[in-house]
Amino acid sequence: MAHSSAQTAIATSLSREQRVRLYRTIYAARRIDDKEITGKRQNKVFFQINGVGHEAVQAAASMVFRPGHDWFFFYYRDRALAYGLGYTAKEMFLGSVGAVADPASGGRQMPSHWGHKNLNIFTTSSPTGSQFLQAVGAMEAVVRAEQGGLQEQLGIRSDEVGLVTTGDGTCSQGEFWEALSNAVNLKAPLVFLVEDNGYAISTPSEVQYPGGNVAALLQGYAGHGLLILDDVDGCDPIASYEALKTAADHARARKGPALVRAKVIRPYSHSLSDDEQLYKSKAQREAEAHRDPVTTYARHLVESGDLTEAQLQMLKEEVQAEIDAAWDEADAAPRPEPGSYYQHLYSEEVDPTSAAFDTEQAAGDQATGTKTMLDLINTTLKQEMARDPRILVFGEDVADASRADILDEVKGKGGVFKTTHGLQKLFGNHRVFNTPLAEATIVGRGIGLAARGFKPVVEIQFFDYIWPAMQQLRDELANIRWRSNGAFKSPMVVRVPIAGYLMGGATYHSQCGESTFTHIPGLRVVCPSNALDAAGLLRTAIRCDDPVLFLEPKHLYRQTHNKGNDPGPDFMIPFGKARTVREGKDLSVITYGCTVHRAVQAAREAEKEGISVEIIDLRSLNPYDWVAIERTVKKTHRVIVAHEDTLSWGYGSEIAARIADELFFHLDAPVRRVAAKDTWVAYYPALEDEILPQPKDFLEAYRKIMSV
C-alpha cells in the first residue's frame, strides 16, 4: 500500500498548534545535533552520530505514540522522536558529556543510545537490529498478560502499542525477519518504522536486499495481518503523521503489526568519522538538500499561514535559547564517580549468593535417591510455575503439543529430553509454548518479556546451537542493567543441555564452551552435577533477579549415581557455594559437571594406592566459591583443576592461574589440569572416550602430582 504526498496537498486533522509543534521538534533536534557536533570539536563530547534528515517522520511519530504508555525501541538516529516524546535537550546533553545524571546510561554508553525509564524508551545498544526481537517480546507481554490475567500485577495496559525503529540497512539483518515473522504470528501490537535514507554508512539499499525496498519484499506477510505503508514521504511531517496514525490504529485494534517505510534523507555524513562526499555525488547531495524538512516544512508553515516570518524567527530563537541553556547546565553536571563501574552489574536488591537463598540443610532424606536429574528439573519447574504466575516456559519443542486440540490424544513432547513434559497440560498454552526454530528469537523475545515483568525460563535445545543467540546473550541480556545504569533489567533463565559422554553425540551434540559465557560480566552461570543440586540451583536461578545461564549436562539427566529425592518447594542452593563431594588430605580436585563422578571413580582407585583425594564440586561457575578453593588448597597443598571442555583456554585456566597467583606459597606442587583434548568430540565411541577426560586420566594425574 503506497502512502505518499506533497506537503501542501495532504489532508490532516492536526490543529495549527500541532502543526507548529511538529516544526519545533524538527528544528530543536537539528540544533541539538549541531550543538553536539560543536561539543565534539571542543573535545567535550567524545562521540557523535546524528539524526539529521530523519526529523520529520520522527516528530510525527512522537505525536502518534504516547510516552509512558506505549513502548519504544529505538536506534541511534531517533533524536527528534526522543525529543518529541519528552526527552529534554539537557538530558540529551547529559549523555553527550557522559554525566552521571544521563537518563540513558549514567555516562556508560555513547550519546544517541537512547533510554528513558519514565518515557518507556527501552535502553538502546549499538548492535543494529538487536532491538527488533526485544520489541516483539515486550508487546507479546501485552498478549500474555491478558491471557494470564496479570495486567494489574505487571502494570500492562491492553491498549499499549510498541514502536520499533530502524534504518534501511538494518533490514538486511536476520533478526529483522525473525521479528517480523514472530510479530505477525503473535499479532503483537507493534509498529515497525523503517527510516529509509538509502544508505547503511556508504552501502546503498540495493546492496542490502533485492530491489532496495524492503517493504516490497514483505507483501506476502500482508495476508497474515501485517499492514504495510510504503513510500511514505518521511520528510513531510504531516504525511508521516497520517501514515503512522493509520499504522498505530491498526496495531492498537489488534489486527496485527504494521510496517511503515518512510523515505528520508541523510544530508550529514553517517557520523563524524565518516565523509559522505567519498561515496555520494554532488547531485545526490543537492537533491537531498532540496527535501530537508528544516527548510521545506518551515516554508510550508509560512505559505499556509500557520506562522509569519517573524513568528518563525521567534520560534527558532526560543529553541536556540533552550538549547544553549541546556548545554551549559549539562556541561557543568557531575561526571561518574571513580569506582562506580561495578554498580548495577548485578541486582543490588536480590543477592542469590546470600543466606536467604541457602536452604540446603532442609533437603530431607537423600540417603537413597529415587529421582533423576531430569525428574527433579521437571518437578522444580512445576513447583515454581505453580508458585509464580509470571513464569513462562518456551523454546523449541518444549510444549507437549503446539496444536492444543490434540493434547487429550497424545502423550506430549515436553522437550527432546522430556524436562518440560506435562507443563503445558498443567499450566496452559499461554504459559508453555513452542517457538520457531530460531535461537535469537527465543532469547530476544525473552528479554522483552522479562523487561515487562514476566519471568521467562527459556530453553536452548542444545548448547551446540546457542550461537545464533550469542548477540542477544552477550551484547543485550547480560548488560541491560549495567548499560542503563539500573533503569532497566531483564532477569531470565536460559536452560541449556550441554556436554558429551553420549556415545554418538559427535561434534554438534557434545560441545562444552562454558568459559565463553563465564567471562561475560552480568551473566550468572551454573552447572549442577546431580539431581538435588539441579533442583536447588534452578530454583535459585528462577527466584533471583539476574540473567542466568543454567547448564544441564545431558549425560547426567538419567544417570543412577546422581539421583536424589524431591527436597520440597523451597529448597535452594546459593550461587557461589561449592560442595565438598569427598574429603581427602593429599590432593584436591576442583571440578564440576560430568567430570565430578569421574574424579570420584578415580579417587576410589587412588585410595587403594594410599592417595587420599578431596573433591570439590563448584556447582556455580560465575560466581565461583573462592573461599572453598582456598580452604582445600591450604589443606592438601596439591591441586588439580578439571573440566570437560578443551584443556587450552578452558574454564579451569582461570582457577589455576588465580591459585598460582594468590596461594603460591601454600602449594607443594604446580597446579595441574585435567581436561579434554584440544579438538572436537568425535562420533565413534572409542574416539570420544579418548578425547574426553576419563577416570584413568584422573588417576594418572593423581599419581603424577603426588610424585612431585
Catalytic positions are 509
Q: Residue 266: which of 441, 436, 54 has the closest Cα?
A: 54
Cβ atoms of residues 676 and 644 within 8 Å? yes
In DSSP notation, 572-637 reads: ---TT--EEEE--SSEEEEE-TTHHHHHHHHHHHHHHTT--EEEEE--EEES--HHHHHHHHHHHS
Q: Which amino acid is at 350?
A: V
User: Which contiguous run of DSSP H or E holds residue 73?
Assistant: strand 71-73
Angle at 592 between CA 661 and CA 697, to 5 degrees: 85
Residue ranges in 394-512 assigned as alpha helix (H) = 423-427, 439-451, 470, 480-483
Instruction: In whole angstroms, give the CA distance from residue 322 to residue 89.
Output: 8
User: Which contiguous run of DSSP H or E holds residue 325?
Assistant: helix 309-331
CA-CA-CA-CA dihedral for 430, 141, 458, 652, to nearest 10: -170
Q: Residue 85: which of 104, 68, 109 has the closest Cα?
A: 68
Tell me what percent of the chain is helix, strand and coil, each rounded to the nearest 5: 45, 15, 40
CA 408 to each of CA 425, 434, 474, 634: distance values in angstroms, whole numbers, following the listed order: 9, 18, 40, 59
Cβ atoms of residues 528 and 537 within 8 Å? yes
Instruction: In whole angstroms, give the CA distance from residue 638 to residue 636.
Output: 5
In DSSP notation, 105-151 reads: TSSSS-TT---BGGGTBPPP-SSTTTHHHHHHHHHHHHHHHHHHT-H
Cis status of the peptide bond prior to 574, with omega within 30 of 0: no
Query: How many other β-carbons are positioned within 10 Å of the β-carbon of residue 313?
Result: 11
Instruction: In whole angstroms, give the CA distance from residue 216 to residue 524.
Output: 43
Burial environment of residue 477 by CB neighbours within 10 A (0 to 12, 13 to 18, 19 or more): buried
CA 663 to each of CA 519, 613, 658, 702: distance values in angstroms, whole numbers, following the listed order: 22, 19, 8, 20
Q: DSSP 3-state assignment of 2?
A: strand
User: For residue 621, how far is the Cα from the chain centroid?
Assistant: 20
Q: Residue 477: which of 524, 526, 437 has the closest Cα?
A: 524
Query: How many other β-carbons are positioned within 10 Å of the β-carbon of residue 681?
Result: 25
Q: Tell me the three cell numbers of residue 450.
A: 522479562
Q: Residue 215: which of 164, 168, 182 has the closest Cα?
A: 168
Query: How many other β-carbons are positioned within 10 Å of the β-carbon of residue 56?
Result: 33
User: For residue 115, how far is the Cα from the chain centroid?
Assistant: 15
Q: Tell me the three cell numbers of residue 637.
A: 597443598
Q: Phi and psi for 196 in degrees, rounded to 5?
A: -95, 100
CA-CA-CA-CA dihedral for 391, 395, 398, 402, to nearest 10: 100
Q: Name the residue with cell 510496517.
A: 259
CA 302 to each of CA 252, 291, 307: distance values in angstroms, whole numbers, following the listed order: 35, 17, 5
Check residue 649 and report its DSSP letter: T
